Chains A and B, each alone.
Chain A
Amino acid sequence: MKRLMSYNISRMILTAAFLAFIAASAVTAGISVYIIHTLSASFDSVSPESFEAFRSRDAYNFGVVKMYSLEELRNPQFRLMVTNILGSSGMQVLLSLTVCKLITDEFRFGSIYKVISKGCGRVQVFLSYAAVSAIITAAVSLTYLISFSVFAKAGGISFEGFSIGEFIPVLLLQMFMLISFGVFAAAVSVLMEKALPAIMFCFVLIFALPGTFTILRLFFGVDIEYEGFFVFSRLYSMQPGTASAGDFICAVIWLALSIAGGAYLVKVLKVRR
């Protein structure tokens, strides 16, 4: 495992383009915060009639945008929520692409086959990628935090009650969830022996699942009490002030389950190319 980790970290560092990608992700994340902030401000100019069109239901969940009530659209605090949710989701996408880039390269250049043919078990390979994805997450999150802080300090974010102090625990929470996602992506990649379809699968899963409840409600009239799922929704979205100890416990359990589940799947399921 030690030599496998050294090898993977070396791969990560040696691929200069990959490091550039991380930097670009961070910058883009920072920029996206600004863009989304500007967009969310335009909600004020949307007519109340437009909101009424959505009013027939009291909870909506369109993938990354989650609303308990459309009343929230009128609340200035909602802009902060949208900014944060979409900003973090943008980061999630960029981060996933970063992990995808690494794993894709591993498959494309045959390194993963080298690793397995040198006697490393698939579970070991999975765990090493999971660890690498955690390192990437930490690196991107840190740069994201810096760009966000700089932006906030420069007055780009002027919402009431916003403070970096509140933002940091939420970011840490977000990191846990992103690591879980990276772990999951690593498991599916090693299982499928192809990175891109695996990542696509993860994306579909991560974005389709939350939206499924809304789609079921809107189009099929199936009403599911899905508030219970909001614990996960909340963990995936950054809402200042919501990072409670319970959330952290949930995040840790979620991560542990991802690792254990991923390792088990890689070991027992025989998915073939």
Chain B
Amino acid sequence: MEKSIVQADKVSLSIRGKTILDSVSFSVKKNDIFALIGHNGAGKSTLIRILLGLELDHKGKIMLFGSSELEKMRMNIGSALDMDNLVLDPKLKGIQYLREMCLLCGAPKSEADEAARLVGAESYAGNKIGTYSFGMKQRIAIAAALIGKPELLILDEPFNGIDPEGMKSMRMLIHSLNRSGVTILLTSHIIPELIKLATRFGVVHSGRYTHETDPGELSAMNIKKYIYRTDDLDLAAHRIDNEYPTLFGIPTGSDRIGIIGETGEKLDSSFVYCGTEKATAEDILLWYMSGKGR
């Protein structure tokens, strides 16, 4: 049986009477690239914060590396949170920041150089963080998370705010870290990148853990997507959301919308039926994320 790196069992969190997470159970296995996906505010970052001990009031059981001694086990976790809004001390040099992390993790200072090299930041690590681009900061944040040679790396929204070239580069970096034996748990709502990267997907919608799947399962699913032509794509998408609660619409071109759902072919006359396609993995994940997916 594969070793569970993270095991969350019925984790719930309410803040001032509002349910943020509702009985979430999931597990991350060794060597996974596990993507927690969901729209903004779905609860995925909160779940990460609970795993890292940053939220206090949760209920349910969490085990890390098979142990319930969480504080001790967290030493084996590297994390980079709020990667879409990274604020690092601009006065420090990248390498100084990494050396501070060495102190915090009780790691030798040489690990700072090693981590900078691993993420491809060695050429600019000697410069002040204030001079870095967003992508450079992200790499330094990942390097900091790698100090102490963690077994699990948690990345919160690593694809937000970076250009396509940066996304590709980030994807390659995550792949390479995973190949070197680091289990990855990441959150994102940028599905196209995750499809190319993740080995498992967990979907969070409105605080509930609704689906769990993997690329093999997604490609084997035979879910139909009904294609309709429409004059106003935005209005059509809005109407699908509001007037057809069981249907999910995905724009598939300048004047076409793909509909997933049981009664997809029974729309009113403003939608002109054009044909049926097999829903892609991205379509299915977006459908799940919408909360309408079965």
Contact = CB atoms under 8 A, between A and B. Distances in A.
B104 A3 contact: yes
Interface string A1-33: 001101100110011110000000000000000
A100 to B, nearest CB: 16
A121 B71 contact: yes
B191 interface: no
Contacts of A165: none
A221 interface: no
Contacts of A115: 104
Interface string B77-96: 10101100001110110001
Given A105-B89, A116-B53, A119-B53, A14 B72 contact: no
Contacts of B88: 109-110
Interface in B206-241: none
A272 B56 contact: yes
Residue of B75, B81, B103, B105 with most partner-chain A CB within 10 A = B103
Interface in B94-109: 96, 99-101, 103-106
Contact of B106 (A3, A15, A109): A3
B74 interface: yes
B72 A119 contact: yes
B15 A119 contact: no
A174 B82 CA distance: 41
B40 to A, nearest CB: 18
Band of interface residues on B = 20 to 34
Interface in B114-154: 144, 148
A129 B53 CA distance: 19
A113 interface: yes
B54 interface: yes
Contacts of A7: 100, 103-104
Interface string A116-155: 1111110000000000000000000000000000000000
Interface string B29-48: 00000000000000000000
B87 A108 contact: yes
A55 interface: no
Interface string B8-25: 000000010000000000
B101 to A, nearest CB: 7
Band of interface residues on A = 20 to 34
B57 interface: yes
A14 B96 contact: yes
Contacts of B148: 118
Contacts of A105: 89
Residue of A17, A116, A118, A120 with most partner-chain B CB within 10 A = A118
A10 B54 contact: no
Nearest to B48: A117
A43 B217 CA distance: 85
Contacts of A111: 100
A118 B75 contact: yes
Contact of A119 (B57, B75, B91, B99): B75
B54 A113 contact: yes
Nearest to B77: A117
B73 A3 contact: no
A16 B89 CA distance: 12
26 contacts: A4-B104, A7-B100, A7-B103, A7-B104, A10-B100, A10-B103, A11-B100, A15-B92, A108-B87, A109-B88, A110-B81, A110-B87, A111-B100, A114-B79, A116-B54, A117-B74, A117-B77, A117-B81, A118-B75, A118-B148, A119-B70, A119-B71, A119-B74, A120-B71, A272-B15, A272-B56
Sort A-B residue pairs by CB-CB distance and give the 7 closest, nearest first: A119-B74, A117-B52, A7-B104, A119-B71, A7-B103, A109-B89, A270-B56
Interface of B: 15, 52-54, 56-57, 70-75, 77, 79, 81-82, 87-89, 91-92, 96, 99-101, 103-106, 144, 148
